[in-house]
Structure 1
Amino acid sequence: MPSPLADPVQLPCGLVLPNRLSKAAMAELLAKTNQPNKPLSEAYSQWAQGGWGSILTGNVQVDVNHLGSPYDPALHQEYKGEASLIAQWKPYADVCQKHGTPTIVQICHPGRQSFRIAGYRGMFASTIAPSAIPISLGSGLIERLVSCVAWTAPREMTKGDIERVIRQFVDTARLMADAGFSGVELHGAHGYLIDQFLSGKTNIRNDEYGGTPEKRARFVLEILTEIRKAVPATFAIGIKLNSADHSSATFEETMTQIKLLVNAGIDFMEISGGTYEDPSMMGYSTSTSTPNSNTTPIKSERTAAREAFFLEFAKEVRARFPGLVLMLTGGFRSRVGAESAIRDGACDLVGIGRPAAIEPGFPLRLLDESVGDEEARLPLNKVPAPFYTRWLPKNIIGAGLETTYYSGQISRLARGLATFAPTWS
């Protein structure tokens, strides 16, 4: 029987994804000048021929002054339709889609999570955030020291700051559309700026952008509305949102915000989770780490059986918003796990990240009916930690090791070299 993973999916904008497998966004760390370049294109040429139903790029930052990493591609200036900027981005779009795979650009602003060494604003300049709440990795001396060294204290955004960042999101989306990409995904997860506005933990404003779940959602809703006005009707606009452990009150607030996004006409929603303070998107959580281990996965027994990190949250979203196209990302390693999520009704699209860095043609194996279920899988160990990391915060070290390791594999893809799964030392 054909796998449900092979089914095409049509988004509300009309864009058709030829199957349900999406190469999820990962940090590439390849844009040394913060612009698209040959190494980035070479890596994506591998995924372009990998049989994916869609490709999501890593972060493209909307402001070169505020980067998530020193090597993120970014918008360097206000976009006014310049042919030179289109010419800079079009080869990247063409490579990604040369075999017909729709490619969606993840656009982002890190807000308070912009590292000191990332961005053109200077090492001592403040980051920006909805409220002036600094990042905290913990209350211990080492945790506080690492936080201070890694990030400057944020300042609360003014109304002018908010309007400027909204324009930057719109400019970036217009440039991606003009360059030929198939859509954009607003990064509203992992503690970045949109997520900071949505969360009552990081947004304590009492103006029109804070104070209630609806007001905290205004920032992203204005971004969505203005992008929709500026791009073709067939250009997809999605969003990545956090799934995290909620109290009943905050869970309902999240559902209220999702309803607003659905009503605003979002084309798809990707469910992920975690922040730098609690990196559950990498399979780590401060709530489950032990003092002597930085490799404690966050899966419950039931979730582990189905692989996905955020399955239960996605199923609740599906139950409340049955017409919303859902992508679930985090933890998928096999055909059986991916098919289970689809057949259970938890999602329409399966996002696959780290296996894609090891095997760029992973979908070809999952969709090949001649390959048995035992072979249609790619289990991955956690990246082993060097001994000297034992004194550092477990949450940030665990996530940092994973990001560094897999960006290294993406670099190998870009250079035409063989890739390797992590092994225990």
Structure 2
Amino acid sequence: MKHHPIFQKANIWQKALINRTVVAPMSRVSATADGLATDEMTDYYSAFAIGGFAVIITEGIYTDVYGSQSYANQPALVNDEQRASWVKVTRTVHKSPSLIFAQLMHGGALSQCNDNTLAPSAVKPVGVKMASYGGDGAFPIPKEMDLMDIERMKQGFIDGAVNAYKSGFDGVEIHGANGYLLDQFLTPELNHRNDHYGGTMQNRFRVIAEIIAGIQASVPQDFIVGLRISEGKVNDLTYRWADGIETAKELAEEIKASQPDFVHVAVQTGEWERDSFFEDGISLASIIRKATGIPVIANGGFHNLNKAEIALKDNHADLIAIGKVALADPHWVIKTINSIPLIPFHRDMLWPEATLSHTRKIIKELNLESN
């Protein structure tokens, strides 16, 4: 098993990675009420490093006080106290040869905890809020962002990245996926703007390009700045682009021009083949990778090692993100390489709440703890 492509060393971002595995970002709503990372979160993230993952991407971290927060008990990187709270996390992770990236996130119209939401346009989101993340009922109609709102939002991402650097993170992932604010700018059904942030793909992508450029101008050159994208949305699992592959190619060109250090191509339902391919058998990940030459992270059920081998060998991706099975067993890499039984994922680990303490409780109740 140790010879499987996913477990081979890689040199990416001028860094020697111990393998090609990445912990996917997963919201755990376990910070303090004022957005501080906790000792419980330190244990959670360091377990992935001890367990052999090469790269760890945190849960979404909110970036400003004007509407970016998506959940109650979501961690933040807005002020000095929040920044300082992450130092223990990064120092503990770095006792192992793993990298850790902070995912920077603005909930936009999909905030679970804010009724005064912001969005590119005043379009009511479909679906309802998520009970396991503290949400209840329908989403409100958001306020259409004016240019001052957009400038404050962009600065929040830039300041969040600077705080991530000061906290000891190796990089950041800009959350432009899954229906949250930056994805709302990208989505024509949600972005009806008539200014330079609406209309063409170039205009809809503009805010992301400006955030990437602003971060890169504010942090050292070796600080890694990536971007997460997707078609599917947390409130609309079946959403796909109307013109599919053409939209993917247009998006790839904008990504190429903005030059992030990686692109994380996410799927919403956890099934790569179902959510990431177009009719002619070409994946979104491969389109991005071929058009940009930028390292690509793919996710979507890749604990299935046959699927992971195809993604790597057929040039769909450079790195593979693992989500729910890593949540269930943070030692997935080491255990898989050595054929040691794994703690299996169970739906109840994230239901009716997605907190770290609830997951531990379910593992104990189901007698799934490692011997």
Same fold (TM over 0.5): yes
Measure the CA separation in 1 of the matches of 2:289 and 2:228.
18
For residue 350 of structure 1, the aligned residue among 313, 320, 327 is 320
Cα distance change of structure 1 residues 339 and 238 upon mapping to structure 2, 3 Å threshold? same
Cα deviation digits, residues 117-140 of structure 1 (max 9, x gap) = x25xxxx4x2000000011229xx
Percent identical residues: 27
For normalisation by structure 1, the TM-score amounts to 0.74
Cα deviation digits, residues 244-296 of structure 1 (max 9, x gap) = 564563542332222222222211111113xxxxxxx134xxxxxxxxxxxxx
Structure 2: which 5+ runs fail to align? 129-134, 233-238
Match of 2:205 in 1: 217
For normalisation by structure 2, the TM-score amounts to 0.84
State the Cα RMSD in Å: 3.0
Residues 29-40 of structure 1 correspond to what in structure 2 (within 5 A)?
A: 29-33=29-33, 34-40=35-41
Cα distance change of structure 1 residues 32 and 247 upon mapping to structure 2, 3 Å threshold? closer
Contact preservation (8 Å) 1:26, 1:57: yes
3-state DSSP class of the match of 2:229? Answer: strand
Structure 1: which 5+ runs fail to align? 139-146, 274-280, 284-297, 384-400
Residues 183-194 of structure 1 correspond to what in structure 2 (within 5 A)?
A: 183-194=171-182
Measure the CA separation in 2 of the matches of 1:51 and 1:418.
23
Cα deviation digits, residues 135-161 of structure 1 (max 9, x gap) = 1229xxxxxxxx993422201000000
Residues 60-71 of structure 1 correspond to what in structure 2 (within 5 A)?
A: 60-64=61-65, 65-71=67-73
Q: CA deviation at 1:114?
A: 0.7
Match of 1:23 in 2: 23
Asked if residue 44 in structure 1 is aligned to residue 45 in structure 2, the reply is yes
Asked if residue 270 in structure 1 is aligned to residue 260 in structure 2, the reply is no
Residues 369-384 of structure 1 correspond to what in structure 2 (within 5 A)?
A: 371=339, 380=345, 383=347
Contact preservation (8 Å) 1:282, 1:402: no
Residues 161-176 of structure 1 correspond to what in structure 2 (within 5 A)?
A: 161-176=149-164
Cα deviation digits, residues 30-89 of structure 1 (max 9, x gap) = 113221111111211211201001001101011244322111101344xxxx5x554332
3-state DSSP class of the match of 2:98? Answer: coil
3-state DSSP class of the match of 2:172? Answer: strand
Match of 2:298 in 1: 328
Measure the CA separation in 1 of the matches of 2:122 and 2:180.
14
For residue 99 of structure 1, the aligned residue among 93, 96, 101 is 96
Cα distance change of structure 1 residues 420 and 189 upon mapping to structure 2, 3 Å threshold? farther
Q: CA deviation at 1:334?
A: 2.8
Measure the CA separation in 1 of the matches of 2:218 and 2:360.
33
Measure the CA separation in 2 of the matches of 1:209 and 1:259.
17
Residues 147-166 of structure 1 correspond to what in structure 2 (within 5 A)?
A: 149-166=137-154
Q: CA deviation at 1:221?
A: 0.3
Cα deviation digits, residues 328-384 of structure 1 (max 9, x gap) = 11222233332222122211111000001111110113334xx3xxx7888756x3x
For residue 136 of structure 1, the aligned residue among 126, 141, 159 is 126
Q: CA deviation at 1:9?
A: 3.1
Match of 2:54 in 1: 53
Measure the CA separation in 2 of the matches of 1:203 and 1:55.
32
3-state DSSP class of the match of 1:75? Answer: coil
User: Which letter maps to 2:91?
Assistant: D
Measure the CA separation in 1 of the matches of 2:69 and 2:308.
33
Deviating more after overlay: 200-209 vs 92-101: 92-101
Match of 1:276 in 2: none
User: What is the aligned residue count?
Assistant: 349
Q: CA deviation at 1:315?
A: 4.9
Cα distance change of structure 1 residues 314 and 132 upon mapping to structure 2, 3 Å threshold? same
Measure the CA separation in 2 of the matches of 1:167 and 1:158.
14
Cα distance change of structure 1 residues 264 and 15 upon mapping to structure 2, 3 Å threshold? farther
3-state DSSP class of the match of 1:30? Answer: coil
Match of 2:335 in 1: 365
Measure the CA separation in 2 of the matches of 1:317 and 1:32.
40
Match of 2:76 in 1: 74
Measure the CA separation in 2 of the matches of 1:9 and 1:263.
25
Measure the CA separation in 2 of the matches of 1:46 and 1:114.
29
Measure the CA separation in 2 of the matches of 1:327 and 1:136.
28
For residue 86 of structure 2, the aligned residue among 79, 85, 89 is 89
User: Which letter maps to 2:11?
Assistant: Q
Contact preservation (8 Å) 2:57, 2:102: yes
Measure the CA separation in 2 of the matches of 1:417 and 1:148.
26
For residue 250 of structure 2, the aligned residue among 256, 263, 288 is 256
3-state DSSP class of the match of 1:58? Answer: strand
Cα distance change of structure 1 residues 130 and 322 upon mapping to structure 2, 3 Å threshold? closer
